[in-house]
Structure 1
Amino acid sequence: MKLLNPSIIIATILWLPGLSLAAEFGTALKTDTMRSEPYADAKTTGNFARGEKLEILSKKGAWLQIKTSKNTGWVRLLSIKRGAGASGGSQISGVLGLASGRAGTGQVVATTGVRGLSEEELKHAEFNENEISKLEQHMQSAEQAQKFASQAGLKAVKFNYLPKGVAQ
């Protein structure tokens, strides 16, 4: 049995991780502004136009860090369509459209799967007594809440709670 050349094996091992690090591309769904950080109040770093092709560098919560032909910055996830083809519909997407009942209806549904803090942020969280005090300053008493509700024209509604241990 003939053994493989060690240099070929080493080259293959070094090449394989690069496959997972391949760049991801997308297309702008609308004209939007890029930010220096993933926050709505961060400094503007540039703009991009609807339909512009761009490279997706990273993701943080509901934000994507992107690179256009002119600038790099952060933009909201819903402004970008991931994938190289902006208008290409594959056979699988057609089948999924039929299965969901949306084929040919023109009803497009967009969702963003972001929920609170990331695991990394939770690991680095620290107790902050000053922030708790700020939060407590916004608390309202039951009397204040009732007064607010009556001024807003809200009416109390009584309802029966489900018995404990009963699931529906």
Structure 2
Amino acid sequence: MHSTRYLHILLAAVLLAAPIAHAGESGTAVKADELKAEPFRDAKTVGKLTAGDKVEILKKDGGWFQVKSARGNGWVRMLSIRRGVARKTSTSSEISGLAGLASGRAGTGRVVATTGIRGLNEEELKAAKYNEAELKLAESSLTSRAEAKKFASKGKLTARKLDYLPDPAEGEQP
């Protein structure tokens, strides 16, 4: 099983805040990242982006953008690209950390947009295999409740209790 893929999907679903991209939309690399031949972490690297590189977003697939840039064409993680024109006053402190990168905030407004990430399809689930190394890698990202609360406090995040969704009526399709 590709445990890190599950972790990435969960992390992206919770933290991602980039609206769906449209073909031909411009963007800027907010951090250095590899361009991949396919939208997979273990795909062949075909180039590299550096922070500030301009890109044209061609397509979106899950948590990946297919981009065209002066450094080459390929797939890059959505978290590495800021859609639209980069702000001239951006500093590394404005986008430092995962929370800043994935907050979805633009400018000083309080509008946050979110996007969903598709899950695994039936074929991918059937083909999944246990991988102890990947599981250990995913578990290495675990943190304690105290560390999570400290991080949230630092980012001025507050907890909100959400009700569970009701169980679907028997025989009803979700």
TM-score, length-scaled by structure 2: 0.44
- Kindly indicate which of the two structures has a greater share of residues assigned to helix: 1
RCO comparison, higher one (Cα < 8 Å, 6+): 2
